[in-house]
Structure 1
Amino acid sequence: MRFMPLAMLIAAAAWLASRWDALPARWVVHWGPRGVPNGWATKTFGGVFGPLLFGVGLALFLELIAVAIERTSRTRFPQLAHACGNIVRWVSIAVVGIVALLAVLLPSSSPPSPRVVLGVCFGAIALALVAGGRGLAVAMKQMKAEGESLPKGYGAFLYRNPEDRRLWVPKLVGIGWTLNFAHPAAWLLLGLLLMPAIVTLVVAFVVSG
């Protein structure tokens, strides 16, 4: 699983190399408002293979995050730590797969529209999160079957403990903090944290039409 992103990038690079003579002199890589093209790449090594090299760096970075989650987590719950690491790996497969797919499709006679690109991005990341969440749920089920239990309030996906008055609590797996979703302000804070990203994505979809 951890080598799948690199395998996709290698396959994309091999495809582009085999079709080098058929690639156009330049192609659209960015669109402005109303889907008007405003950025192009040219038929150079950097223009063709640059996105794939970026994908290699991204894949390695995300794998380091996955390994860090697994190694810095409490050894009492290795199954849970591995499942959380695999969530990052699924996201890596989705994001790097998008990079590889666009690197192949954009330099063509019929590149995808901006809305198709956005739809593919949303769909791939959503599927990755579903797959990672399913793996986490399976790990929790196995732990329960083996008689292991998590500390009070900790669940497969979030922390919820009405008796704990803290808003932020330490993560059970990995490093950092998470919200106590029994706290009245937790959902409001989550909405505020996500609002800029949601607004940006909605605007990007609207103006690409």
Structure 2
Amino acid sequence: MGAGWLPWSAASLASGAVLLVLGALSMPPTTEVGQVIDAVAHQDAAWLMATASFFLASVGLTMGLPAILWLFPRRHQVVGLVGLWIWAVGTIGTAGVASLLVLFRAVARTVDLTPEQVEALSRDPLLRLGLGAVVVAFHLGELVVALVLLRGRAAPVWVPAMLLLHVALAPVNHLLPANLQSVQAIVLGVGLMGIAVRATESWAGSRPLARL
């Protein structure tokens, strides 16, 4: 089976990374519920841009994950593949997050919600379980893939380092100032772009050998 699909997959990965960063930057720079409700009411274009960006990022990242498989050393491919499947749960689940943003916008613009009511909704067990599963799958899969890339030395060290930094920031990101919390998404975007470039370079370098 040929690998002509790889440049397309790498391009999808790079596009998904850019869209993920765009979505993060489009979200209101605050964690206060009242300010989020105000952003929905007065920054509708930015909210819709964030929603569309997260949905398209989900598609791009999911279609781009196979490009990472190209970089795994043969002896680590099984572990790497498991990591990719786990990560795929998180990337696909990002589309669900986009759907929740659409739903929240519709409810906030239709019903006069108070911050207390929004807080109560956010504590719904099923909602918390679903979002938690997506977040855990995303970061766990990313961690496994980063460790495989780091151990196999199939990419420059800074590439898996960016992924590991993104995972490390996850538990403390909410403690950062609101205008710095999008840095976590930028770190991930840089790491994914590095993977896409390295996978394409590796594929291009293998083509002359394939013709011999």
TM-score class, shorter = 0.3 to 0.5
Question: In proportion to residue count, which structure has more strand?
Answer: 1
Larger Rg: 1
State the TM-score, normalized to the length of structure 2. 0.41
Give the helix-richer structure, 1 or 2.
2
TM-score, normalised to structure 1's length? 0.42
